[in-house]
C-alpha cells in the first residue's frame, strides 16, 4: 500500500504439508494492520431500503461487437423512465446460434418508487421505451 508491504500470503510448501500429513491445500496470510489503521475508514455511504417493492424486467438482445454496455446503459437511462434505479448485465453469450461478430446480452432493469407501489401499465410503458431505445442502438430483441 503506497509502496509498502502490508500483507503477504501463500500456500504451505508441499514438503511441509507432507511432513504434517495435510490432506488439503493450506494457505496462510499475514497482515500488518498498523498502516491500515493509520489511513482510517472511508466515509460510510448509506441509502435506506425502499418501502415499496422493486420491479425487475429482463431484456434479451443481440448486438454487434462494436456496441458496448455503457452505450446500452446510456440509451436506457435516456428513455426518461422516472423510477429507473438500475441497469445491469446478467448474462453475455457468444457462439452457438449467435453469428460471429455479435453477442447476446441479458439486461436486468430495476424500477422502484419511493412514494408508492408501481403499476403494471407504467412498467410496461417504460419497458416499451427501453426496447425501442435498444433497437435504435442496433440491437435485435431475442424471443
Give residue limits of the domains in the chain: 7-39, 55-141
Q: Average of pLDDT values for 27-36?
A: 90
Does the CA dihedral 69-110-84-42 come out positive or negative? negative
Query: pLDDT by residue (tens digit) across 54-105?
Result: 999 999 999 999 999 999 999 999 999 889 999 999 999 998 889 999 999 9
Does the domain spanning 55-141 belong to CATH 3.30.70.380?
A: yes
Alpha helices in 1-143 (DSSP H): 14-19, 33-39, 69-77, 120-136
Report the predicted TM-score, pTM, of the whole model to 2 decimal places: 0.67
Statement: residue 33 has pLDDT above 80:
yes
Share of the chain above pLDDT 90, in %: 76
The pLDDT of residue 1 is 81
Amino acid at each position: 500500500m503506497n509502496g509498502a508491504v502490508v500483507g503477504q500470503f501463500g500456500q504451505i510448501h508441499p514438503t511441509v504439508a507432507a511432513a504434517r500429513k495435510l490432506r488439503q491445500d493450506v494457505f496462510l496470510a499475514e497482515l500488518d494492520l498498523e498502516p491500515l489503521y493509520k489511513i482510517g475508514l472511508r466515509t460510510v455511504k448509506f441509502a435506506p431500503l425502499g418501502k415499496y417493492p422493486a420491479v425487475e424486467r429482463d431484456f434479451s438482445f443481440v448486438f454487434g461487437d462494436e456496441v458496448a454496455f455503457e452505450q446500452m446503459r446510456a440509451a436506457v437511462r435516456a428513455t426518461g423512465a422516472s423510477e429507473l434505479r438500475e441497469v445491469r448485465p446478467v448474462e453475455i453469450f457468444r457462439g452457438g446460434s449467435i453469428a460471429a461478430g455479435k453477442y447476446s446480452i441479458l439486461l436486468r432493469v430495476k424500477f422502484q418508487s419511493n412514494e408508492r407501489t408501481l403499476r403494471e401499465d407504467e412498467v410496461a410503458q417504460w419497458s416499451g421505451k427501453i426496447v425501442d431505445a435498444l433497437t435504435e442502438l442496433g440491437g435485435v430483441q431475442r424471443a
